[in-house]
Amino acid sequence: MASGDLADLLLPGTPTLGDPKAPVLMVEFSDFTCGYCGKFYRETLPSLKAEYLQAGKVRFAYRDYPRDEEGWGLVSAHAARCAGEQGKYWEMHDRLFDQHARLGSGVIMQLAKDLRLNNKAFAKCMDSQKHIPSILADRDMAVKLGLRGTPGFLIVKTDGRRFTDPFIIPGAVRYDTFRSEIEKLLKKR
């Protein structure tokens, strides 16, 4: 994949942070139960936010890559999307990563309560499993990109409609690696 339509990377409802007009898009494929994904969330994402997202240089997108067909990775991804229906995707995202070692139905329902979600609507959404097909579509895309584990990242140059110069980072790497690849794309015209 050398270039393409940005809509292929950002399906409807894909949660993003940063300026939609940023010249670089970084897509994370991740699992809330993955220790290395949690490490990226705690140690690398804050620096990326401070240096690139807040400056309008990078837009960050999160796509789900549950490692198993069932279990807490899939349930947690669904919980984040259900929270997103009430405008609290990123808040749930953050709390799920903060709790990743203790995830369970009681913990997820407590997080929903702590976020002051409408409990009935949240429980109904969770029971429906309506987001499972799109979560699995995210995972399918990661596999098509050649990612075989979590986390995995796709970084592209974009004009807001199309993307070029895709670069894959498989796995948790040091912040300097992300900075280097982002800077290369920012210098491209």
What CATH code is carried by the domain that includes residue 139? 3.40.30.10
Give residue 101's pLDDT band: very low, low, confident or very high (50, 70, 90).
low
pLDDT at 68 over 90: no
Which run of H or of E encompasses 189?
A: none
Cα(99)–Cα(64) distance, rounded to whole angstroms?
Answer: 17
- What is the total count of domains within the chain? 1
Question: In this structure, are residues 122 and 90 in contact, taking their beta carbons and an 8 Å threshold?
Answer: no
pTM confidence score: 0.93
**What's the length of the chain?**
189
Greater model confidence, 125 or 101: 125
Predicted local distance difference test score (pLDDT) of residue 8: 87
For residue 116 the two structure tokens come to: 């002051």
Task: Quote the percentage of the chain above a pLDDT of 90.
Answer: 80
pLDDT digits (tens, 9 = 90+) for 19-47: 999 999 999 999 999 999 999 999 999 99
pLDDT digits (tens, 9 = 90+) for 156-183: 999 989 999 999 999 889 999 999 999 9
Return the HEC string of 112-131: HHHCCCCHHHHHHHHHHCCC
126: domain range?
A: 3-187
